[in-house]
Structure formats: structure tokens, C-alpha cells
Structure 1
Amino acid sequence: MSEQRKNAAAVVSSNNLKYAGAVAILLAGAGLLAGCTSKPPAAPPPQALPVTVVQLEPTDVPISGEWVGTLDGYVNAQIQPQANGYLIKQNYREGSQVSKGQVLFEIDPRPFQAALDQALGQLAQAKGQVAQAQAQLDLAQINVKRDTPLAQARAIAQSQLDNDTQQEAQQKASVQSAQASVAAADAAVANAKLNIGFTHVRSLITGVAGQATLQVGNLVNTQSILTSVSQLNPIKAYFSIGDSEYLALVQRARAGGGDLLKNASAVPLTLTLANGEAYPQKGHIAFVDRQINAQTGAIRIAASFPNPGNVLRPGQFGRVKAETQLRRNALLIPQVAIQELQGLQQAFVAGPDGKAHLVTLKLGPQVGTNWLVEDGVAPGAKVIIDNLQKLGEGTPVAPHQGPPVAPTSQATTSAGR
């Protein structure tokens, strides 16, 4: 009996072990199933990218046009002789300043002196003929005065008085003819003196004289060009502008209370020299052509610039700039913030949601290191100016304020840049 109990206890123990193993397997399977169905932990949100922004504020921006100009003398005079002959002297130094009336060249005066002496002789002869004719007229008048009462008293024949009267008339005509000869001889003398004066070739203006084209010993005539003299202070700069730019200049001048020609301060001009330096003297418009060139659509304008010391010379090139309008409440965006993609200008702005947003811009003229914005952003927008390569649409950003945008120079809109 005891053995049966032992066998039964062994069977129960074996069954308990099998049951415990099955429970363990079930628990392990449940653990595996629970592990397969649980969610992974959520990824942390991306950190905001630190960026520098500038806030766009409305400002007044002057818009200017710039054109290539050619300098020329304010007055250019070609020096030509008014007498024929040989050059015997040059009285100026080439490239030097000369004054109005200064003798630059001398022509051999001897033929003209001989002509003057001959004219003086003819004048003296004509004056002698006048004196002789006047004496004969006086005698004829005396005869008429004496014979008139005698003829009335029938003491002499009437025919004698008629002859005396006719003789008086003839002598009056002789006197008039002699006086005309004197006038002609006097004019010949004046002309001869003028020709002698022409042997001294003078400058008609004050300016800088150029190189002599003919030298001493050359035979010259009235068609010969001896040199040129240019008035350089002030000096002119010629340039051409388009029709729309011309109208903008006119409107700008009217806004200043004048017009292009009468009010020099209405449209002040600046000149940039070939070396990139700004000429210190301001200019004004001195000449506007009467019409616009139908082929080019441009009109020619001349600007006048003071030129003390004759620093500027004819033939030089420069860039003439004029303020054409003043854009009120304009927005300027830094050039570093602009990205170009497929012909579009774009920029990132920091939105109120703390994210970067890409906007498409319509840009106007450049103003120094900035661009004038026509459309695409509103006043107060915060434009991002750094870390642009790391940005994308919706990128979280941590903006901090940069220096404000300010125009550093006038906007330039000319096609002649």
C-alpha cells in the first residue's frame, strides 16, 4: 500500500512539473507578443537653427540714372588766319592757357604794309582832288554871285550868267565825286590796316591752346587751321538718355520748382571719372537737344561742370549720374539674403511660427549692397541673412536681430551702366 502511494505521488509530481513548464512557456510567449506589439519611444523634436535677421522698415530711397558721358570744351574755337602769307612767328606754348585777344601767330606783314602805303597815297590824292574841286566851286559861286545883279541890270548878257550857273553846278558835282573818291580811299586804308591786323592771329576766347598744326615757314591761307583753343572752365559732358529717363528728369526738375535749364539746382549732376573716383564738383544740365533720335530713342544732353585748374580735358570719358525720382516708403533687402533659382529671386523670412519660409521677390534697382523690393514682402518682415544653405521651407529657426538696412548710395537704373 505504501508503494502504491509512492507511485501515485510520483505521478502527481511529474504532472505538476509538466504543468509548471507549460505555464512558463505560455508566460514567455505572452512576453514575446507584448514586446512585438509595443511602440518605440518618440524621437526628440529638431533643434531651432540660430539665424540672423534684419527687419524691413520703409525708407525714402533716391532713384538715379547713370549714363556714359564724353567731355568736351565748353567752347571750342579753331584758329584760322584771315590773311594769306608765310608764318614768321609762333607766340604761344602748346597746351598752355591763352587769353582772349592774345596773339598766337604772326604772318609776314610786308605785302599788307605795302598795300596800306598805297591806300594812304590814294587817300591823299583823293583829298587833293577834293580841295581842287572845292576851290573851283568857290570860284564858280563867286562868278554867279557877281554876275547875277549885272544880268538883271542888263549890264551883261543873260547867257553869261547861265554859263556861270552851269559852271557852278558842274563844280558841285566834281566836289561830290572827289569826296566819294576820298571815302573810297579811306575805306581802302581801313581795309589795308585791317589786313595788317590780320597778320597777328589772335585767340578769340580764353582757354587752353592745342598743338600747332602748321609751323613757322609754312604758307597759310584763310582755309588753314593753325590750332584749336578750348574753354575748359566750365567743361561740358555730352551723354544720351532714353525717352522715359528724360521724362523722369523733367518731372524731377518740376518737383524741385524749376526746369532742366533755368534752375541749375533742380537736378544736380555728379561725375565719376575713368579711375572710379567721384569728381568733387557738381554739375547741371546746360543743353537739351531739340528732338529725340528716332533710331535710338535717345535724346542728347550736355552737362556743365566747373573745372578749376583744367583738370578735366576734352575727350575724357566719365559716368554722369542724376537723381530722377525719390521713392517714398520703399523697402530695401540685403543682397546677401537673395537667392536666385531658375530666374526667380527668393529669400527666407522668419515667420511668427518660429519657422523659415521661402518667398519670391520682385526686385527693383540696386542700392549699394541692398536691393529695392517691388513686391514679395511686407514692411516689418524679418529677412534671414545667414545660414541660408542649411535652411528649407519650414525649418525651425531661432532668429536674432542684425544691423538695420540703410541705403548706402542712390539706386541706379540706367541702361548705360
Structure 2
Amino acid sequence: MKSRFAAIGLTLLLFSCGKDQTVQAPPPPQIHVIDVISQKVNLEKDFVAQIYGKMDIPIRARTEGFLEGIHFQEGRMVKKGDLLYTVDPDPLRENVNTAMSQLAEAKVSLTQAENDLARYQPLAEINAISQKDLDAAISKKKSAEAMVEAAQSRVNFQNIQLGYTSIKSPISGLIGKTNAKVGEFVGRDPNPVILNTVSIIDSVRVEFFLSENDYLQLFREYQENHNQAQRSQPLKLILADGSVFNHEGYVDFINRQIDANTGTILVQATFPNPESLIRPGQFARVRASIRSVENGVIIPQRAVNEFQGRFFVFVVGEGNQVRQQEVQILGPYRDYYLIDSGLKEGDQVVLEALQKVAEGLVIEPVPFQFESQYKD
């Protein structure tokens, strides 16, 4: 009997202990969420580009010889007509002297022919000499005149060649580092022929390539905005450090054909460069607007999951219950995605801890103000 009462007491004791130790359900996790917004969106795309001067003029050695002098400071501005290089002029000066001697000899022959003709003409009038002798004297004079003209041409040519020994700047601009030093033989391969380059950089040419698809898309976009000229579509230049150049550029040239080997077309744009920050040879990215969308629905890219080419977000529904929603994306916009379908303005989506949420999970949404890293 005692054992029976002991068993009943033990049962009551265990029941009372279990009731006191009931585990309380944990509170819903606090998760950052954002409200889906809509605004005017300009979809942009970047293209790798190379920069050239407005004009890049190579300075060539137009005659062979030893370089005698360099008359400029590398990396400085030069003016049109400034003396840049001098090549040893002595061999060409001797050529000029030889040509001058030949000219003097031709002039002596012309003088003799003129004197002979002057003597023959009076004699021919009184029939003291034959007509044949007179004709020969006239022909000799004309031949001597032609010899003088030829000799004068040789003098002019040699003077031009001598002038090539003084190399002057064809334009005003920025000159680079010289490719030859004093004493070096220039003007014949493998020795330097192009000695330097002078560039005008108050504005720069930026060349980039569009794929066939990008070209068609941009062209159609410009056609849709037919009330605006093509030149009114500004381009941005993204420098190597990621900063945006503070001057906009415009397309001024599109090549006549698409390269059959690469499937791309060359496009050239001009950007003002009043501070001379941009230099020829730099690589940059050209950012072009490829589509404009009014009231475009956008969400931060970090709020989107991708799986096998499909895109998903977690939407907060009734009772703060999370559900997975597939979305269609038109394209990236800065650090957002532009949504084509699947979301509307005012929806709440999970921004962080995507790996901690799942279909049907109840959360405590914490509103979060997302700030883009891009500044207008």
C-alpha cells in the first residue's frame, strides 16, 4: 500500500516539475527590410576606351644624319614653328654648294649662247651666215636656258633637304619624351625615324568599340528620342580610379562598317579637357545611357538571389511572413536592379541575412534606409 502511495506522489511531482519547465517559443528574428521604390531610371552601360589627343602629330626625321641638338624641354608646351631638333647639316650643305656650282656653270653657258646669238643675228640679216647657223645659235641659247632652270631646281631641292635638318613643331601643343639622343644617327631604320609626338589636349578623342547588339540597341534608343539630336546624348568618362570625369562628351564619329573579325564597330567621342587632366594613352570607360524608363521599379542588388539564371527576392507578406518571389530583371542600374515584373512600388523585401530566411518564416521587419554608393 505504501508503495502505491509513493508511486502516485512521484507522478504528481513529475507533472508539477514539467509544467514549470515549459520552453517558451523564441521571438521572431529582426531582419532589415526596405520598401520598393520607383523613379525615372536611365540604364547605362560601360565600354572600355582609349584616349588620344585632339591631334597627335608625330615628329619625323625627314633626312638622315647625326642628331646635333635638342631644343625643347620634354613634357612641356611648344608653339607652332618652335625649333625642336637639329640634324648635322654639313653633308647636305655640301650638296647645296655642288648644286650652286652647277647652276653657275649653266649660267656661264647661257651667257656664251646669248653672246653667240647676238653676233649671228646681224650677220644673218646681211646673209653673211647661213640660216642653219642662226638656227643652231638659237637652239643653243634655248638649251642653255633649260640647263639653268634644271640647275636652279637642283639648288632648290638641295635647300629643301638642308631645311629638313632643322625640325620645327608643326602645331602648338604638348610634346613628349624624345626617342633619340644627341649624337644618335636618325632618319633610317632601325634608328629612330619618329623622334617625338606633339599633342593638342585641350580636348581629347576617346575611341571605344560597340558590339553589334549594343550598336543596334543604342541606335534604336536614339531613334525613339527622335526629337533630340544624336549629339545631345551625353557620355560620361570613368577614369582608372573609378572617379567620373567632370566634363561630358559627345559622339562625333561612327565608323562606316562593323569589323567582320570582331563583330564590333568603332565609335569616337570628344571630351573637353581644359585642366589637361586627361593624357593620350590613358585607358578609361565610357558610360552611355542605353535606355530610359519612367517610373522604373528598383531594388538593391544585394536583396536579390540568383539561381540558375533566375532571380528571387524574399517579400514580407501578411503577418510578417516571408515568401519567395521570382522577379524579372531588365538590367543593372548602378547598385540596383531595374525590375520588369514580380514587384511593385511599396512592397517590402528582405535586404540582409538572405541565408537566414526561408519560405514561411515569420520575422520582425526592421525598416532600413538603403544609400547608393553612386553619387550624381
TM-score norm. by structure 1 comes to 0.70
Listed as ranges, the gaps of 5+ residues in structure 2 are: 1-25
Q: Greater CA deviation, 181-190 or 201-210?
A: 201-210
The answer for the alignment partner of 2:193 in structure 1 is: 225
TM alignment of 1:60-209, pairs within 5 A: 60-144=40-124, 146-147=125-126, 160=127, 163-209=129-175
Q: Distance in 1 between matches of 2:180 and 2:352?
A: 70
Q: Equivalent of 2:214, from 228, 245, 259?
A: 245
Give the Å deviation of 1:55. Answer: 4.7
The Cα offsets for residues 237-294 of structure 1, whole Å up to 9 and x where unpaired, read as 33222111112232344455599xxx67333221111111111122223443443333
Instruction: Note the C-alpha offset of 1:195.
Output: 1.6
Q: Which amino acid aligns with 1:142?
A: P
What's the CA shift for 1:232? 4.3
After TM superposition, the structure 1 = structure 2 runs for residues 264-343 of structure 1, keeping only pairs within 5 Å, are 265-340=231-306
2:20 aligned partner: none
Q: Residues 310-346 of structure 1, C-alpha deviation per residue, up to 9 Å, x if partnerless? A: 3222332211111122124422123454345666432
Instruction: Decide which moves more: 303-312 or 333-342.
Output: 333-342
What is the CA-CA distance between 1:400 and the residue it aligns to?
9.5
Identity of aligned residues (%): 26
1:236 lines up with 2:202 in the alignment: no
Q: How many angstroms apart in 1 are the aligned matches of 2:34 and 2:238?
A: 34
| Rg larger in structure | 1
Structure 1 residues 250, 168: CA separation in 2 closer, same or farther (over 3 Å shift)? farther
> Which one of 18, 35, 38 corresponds to residue 54 of structure 1?
35
Aligned AA for 2:290? T
Deviation at 1:376, TM superposition (A): 1.5
- Post-superposition shift, 1:80? 2.6
| Cross-structure match for 1:369 | 335
Deviation of 1:218 (Å)? 2.3
Q: Offset of 1:164 from its aligned partner?
A: 3.6
**Deviations along 1:184-207, whole A, 9 cap, x unmatched?**
111011112112211102233433
Q: Distance in 1 between matches of 2:276 and 2:269?
A: 16
Q: Please report the TM-score for the alignment, with normalisation by the length of structure 2.
A: 0.77
Once the two structures are superposed, what CA deviation does each residue of 1:95-114 show, in whole Å capped at 9, x if it has no partner?
22223332211122223223
Looking at structure 2, the residues matched to 219 and 388 of structure 1 have their Cα atoms a distance apart, in angstroms, of 70
Q: 1:264 to 1:114 in 2, by over 3 A?
A: farther
Q: How many residues align?
A: 346
Distance 1:334-1:218 versus aligned 2 partners, 3 A rule: closer
Shift in Å at residue 52 of structure 1?
5.4
SS in 2 for 1:265: helix
Give the partner amino acid of 1:135: N
Q: 1:115 to 1:300 in 2, by over 3 A?
A: same
**1:384 counterpart letter in structure 2:** V
Gaps of 5+ in 1: 1-45, 148-159, 411-417
Q: Is the 8 A contact 2:303 2:352 kept in 1?
A: no
Q: In the TM superposition, what is the alpha-carbon distance from 1:397 to its structure 2 partner?
A: 8.0
* CA separation of 1:130 and 1:321: change in aligned 2, threshold 3 A: same
Superposition RMSD on alpha carbons, in Å? 3.6
Structure-2 separation of matches of 1:355 and 1:212: 71
Deviation at 1:178, TM superposition (A): 1.0
Once the two structures are overlaid, the 10-residue window that deviates more, 179-188 or 345-354, is 345-354
Q: Distance in 2 between matches of 1:114 and 1:246?
A: 60
Which structure 2 residues correspond to residues 11-22 of structure 1 after superposition, within 5 A? none
- Pairwise CA distance, 1:225: 2.4
Cα deviation digits, residues 202-222 of structure 1 (max 9, x gap) = 233433333223221223334
Change beyond 3 A, Cα 1:48–1:289: same
Alpha-carbon distance in 2 for matches of 1:353, 1:214: 79
Instruction: Go from structure 1 to structure 2 and tell me whether the alpha carbon gap of 1:382 and 1:49 turns closer, same or farther (over 3 Å shift).
Output: farther
Deviation at 1:181, TM superposition (A): 0.8
* Change over 3 Å in CA distance of 1:256–1:129 after alignment to 2: farther
CA contact (8 A) 1:367 1:407 kept: no
